[in-house]
Structure 1
């Protein structure tokens, strides 16, 4: 895959679904590591969902402090290790997590941003921040998958931030995730329309 095609997948306008372009820094990193087309498409879909979650939290719970930029960068690069372990694009495996963190560090990404490559599948680990939870949530709900344990952790952060009842936040978050999930089939089709391997 050429650098131009990586940039095209990462940034060109899309219609069904309409996806935000990846951040420039993430696009440059994916180009440098020669990321497979399907990986770039996946990261773009997850990044778009993360942006929707960030927008929603900022509007509905302004008291919850978190780094929106970190969430968006984390979502845009969380699976970058699959450029090193491409078999994990179509099959199970967790080797990409640590490989991705190391790859980002090798390319000059600060550890606070590189961490998402390793934390996106370990939301119950000690020290997980709100940013990590939002990246993990985006990585699930982009394809319509609901993970009650993960959602409960997000709800707890929302409730702690503004004092409203947990059940109220559960209802609001559930409604939002249901709405985001309505586009899951289109996002999956978009991802699958890109080849697994570089040509």
Structure 2
């Protein structure tokens, strides 16, 4: 199979359980950039988890100011900088973060949507500066939970933002979020297998 057909497969193949497709603009951008198929599969898995988190947020906190479109686009493009730093698809590294933001800006994506490429891994720094919105935290959370990784400090920060916005007890917020994250974690093996079925190059 060609790289293009593998990329299109990562973006559109049916999965079990089903993974939602990426937003059209994000999928088109990945095709224009000839993104590695594994990157596209990863972004699709994280986007699907972000979608489930956003649905939960809308049900539990319907009055919370939340830019759903931005968060879902952010989840769909958060690692786009790995197009330039492919070694970070299989190993550690942070060069893709700012590179991804710059790449999105260069391709006409505004700062409101491009920021997630830079903020998804720096949520602790952003929070210390009070710059991380609930959207940024949701993308960061999705980028962990897709593979069933739990990060207590991130979850506590997310709960604190919900608590401040909704006025409900923090323990109630935590228990409901914990239940959701546990359920999402049960799909991690299938998402990891989907990602691994596509090559890096």
Give the shorter-chain TM-score range.
Answer: over 0.9
**Consecutive unaligned residues in structure 2, runs of 5 or more:** none
Look up the match of 1:6. Answer: 7
Look up the match of 1:112. Answer: 112
Deviation of 1:2 after TM superposition, in Å, equals 4.7
Q: Where do 1:57-136 residues align within 5 Å?
A: 57-124=57-124, 125=126, 126=129, 127-136=131-140
Q: In 1, distance between residues paired with 2:5 and 2:175?
A: 43
Q: In 1, distance between residues paired with 2:98 and 2:105?
A: 11
Deviation of 1:4 after TM superposition, in Å, equals 4.7
Deviation of 1:32 after TM superposition, in Å, equals 1.0
Q: In 2, distance between residues paired with 1:181 and 1:59?
A: 20
Determine if contact 2:47/2:142 at 8 Å carries over to the other structure. Answer: yes
Q: Where do 1:6-85 residues align within 5 Å?
A: 6-15=7-16, 17-85=17-85
User: TM-score, normalising length from structure 2?
Assistant: 0.94
User: TM-score, normalising length from structure 1?
Assistant: 0.95
How many residues align? The count is 196
Matched, 1:152 2:156: yes
Determine if contact 1:10/1:41 at 8 Å carries over to the other structure. Answer: yes
Determine if contact 2:49/2:142 at 8 Å carries over to the other structure. Answer: yes
**Consecutive unaligned residues in structure 1, runs of 5 or more:** none
Q: In 2, distance between residues paired with 1:165 and 1:12?
A: 42
Q: Per-residue displacement from partner, 1:53-109 (whole Å, max 9, x unpaired)? A: 000000011122110000100000000000000000000000000110010000000
Q: In 1, distance between residues paired with 2:153 and 2:146?
A: 17
Q: Secondary structure at the match of 2:76?
A: helix
Match of 2:147 among 143, 147, 165: 143
CA RMSD of aligned residues (A): 1.1
